[in-house]
Structures are given as structure tokens and as C-alpha cells.
Amino acid sequence: MTKSNPPNAKQILRTVQGQLECDQLLGARWLPIGPLSDLPQEDLRMNTPLDDPIIKQKRQQLDAIAQQVQKCTGCPLHQSRNHGVPGEGNPNARLVFIGEAPGAEEDAQGHPFVGRAGKLLTNIIQAMGLTREQVFIGNILKCRPPDNRDPSPTEIAACSDYLYQQLEIIEPEIIVTLGAYAARTLLDTKDPIGRLRGRIHQYFPHPLAEPIKLVATYHPAYLLRNYTHDARKRVWEDMQMVLRELGLPIPQKNK
């Protein structure tokens, strides 16, 4: 995974401001910009221009996977789907959210997390100071299991390669898994979500690859069913951990 990204706008501004502050110490009487806390909290990899050649290439690769998903007959779920739901978002995202499988709304629209649970996920992303467009959102299964039943092991085995390919293309810094199935699939474990959440795991795209950090948290659908202060607090603690790992500010109003 490439880590030697060019300096982003914030880093450049910090360097310039550092020089200006140095000038002030040496006698300059006026600084033309405000304190560091006033700088835009942006990161170029979160907001990379769409015409960037690397982004274009990643977008094309993700589009090719999305087309394969729409034609896939790899497991019986293709018989009942209206739309495959390959996932969507920033092809160069630093942060990727992975859920379990599309539900009824997702199957109808072909987009991930657009039902009630999806609205809650959008709220969580916004509470982190981010937008859906800055991250990538997908699922382990790309087609809806009938009646939203749990994914079967054979369905997961048939489908998970699409997700592995997507993660290799996007190269995120952190994966947030939503619910037990996503965490167990990517971590190859049978541990319950309560034991997996609250710490940083490592996901290996392949044995020789650099690991990607993984944070497991509850699925938004679980949160909707258990909308308690305690459950929400635990999810927010997990998201604060993610923001710290990404070096992004934690919005004060949600502390």
C-alpha cells in the first residue's frame, strides 16, 4: 500500500504558517492568517479531484467490479435480486464502511445503506465531520438475502472476493465493519461483536500485504433496535477511535 502521498493542503498551510510565526518571533508585527484551529479540516485524499489519473483508474476498476456484480450468478441470491449492490463512494477513500448485505431499499435502488439503517449510518458519518462522498460504503454480500435473513457461509464464500478486490483497489487506511458478519469475514474469526469492538484489528488484503487497520462496531440496524444511550455511546467511542487513527479532529459537540 502506497504511503508516500504528496503533502496535502493542510500540511502546506501548516508549513507556511510555521514560517510566518517564526517571522513574528523575529520581529514581524502582523500575520495575515488566523490560528491553526481556523484552518479548513480537510485532507486531499478525502477530497481528491475526480480527474486525478490515479482516481480515474481506481474508479474504472471499481466500475468493472460493479458490472460483474450485476451479472453475477455465483450464488442463488441472483435469482431474487432486483439490483446487485456493489457499494459506492470515494474510490480513494481513507475510510471504508462494510456492512452485511443489502436490504429491501438497497435492493430496490441499487445503492448501499439507503434505508433506515442507512440514514443512521449517514448521521454517524456526518457526526464524524465527514460526508458519504468522502468514504466508501459497501457490504460483504452484494445481493439481498430473502426476508433479510442472515447470510449463509456459502453465500459469503461465493461473494467475498468482490469485497477483497474492492479493498485492494481503494487501499483504505481504516475499515469499519458494521455488525458481526463483516467483522468475522474480514478477520476470519467467530468471536462475537461485543468482544471484537473497542480496539484496533488488522486486516491483511493478502499474506504479504501491509495490514489495514480495522475497527469493528455495531450494525446501524442493531442500533435502531437497541437505541439506548449505552449502545450509542459505544458506537461513538469506536468512531472517535477511528478519527484519532486517521488524525482527524473529533467534533466537539459530539464528545
Q: Could you tell me which stretch among 14-22, 46-54, 73-81, 126-134 binds ligand SF4 (CB under 6 A)? A: 73-81
**Cβ nearer to ligand SF4, comparing 102 with 115:** 102
Nearer to ligand SF4, 142 or 184 (CB): 142
HEC string for the chain:
CCCCCCCCHHHHHHHHHHHHHHHHHCCCCCCCCCCHHHCCCCCCCCCCCCCCHHHHHHHHHHHHHHHHHHHCCCCHHHHCCCCCCCCEECCCCCEEEEECCCCHHHHHHCCCCCCHHHHHHHHHHHHCCCCHHHCEEEECCCCCCHHHCCCCHHHHHHHHHHHHHHHHHHCCCEEEEECHHHHHHHHCCCCCHHHHCCCEEEECCCCCCCCEEEEEECCHHHHHHCCCHHHHHHHHHHHHHHHHHHCCCCCHHHC
- Decide: is 85 part of the binding site for ligand SF4 (CB under 6 A): no
Task: Examine residue 115 and tell whether it contacts ligand SF4 (CB under 6 A).
Answer: no
User: Would you count residue 66 as binding ligand SF4 (CB under 6 A)?
Assistant: no
> Is 77 or 241 the residue whose CB approaches ligand SF4 more closely?
77
String marking each residue 27-56 x if it binds ligand SF4 according to CB under 6 A:
------------------------------
Task: Please work out the total of residues on this chain that contact ligand SF4, with binding judged by CB under 6 A.
Answer: 14
Q: Which residues bind ligand SF4 (CB under 6 A)?
A: 69, 72-75, 77-78, 84, 141-143, 155, 158-159
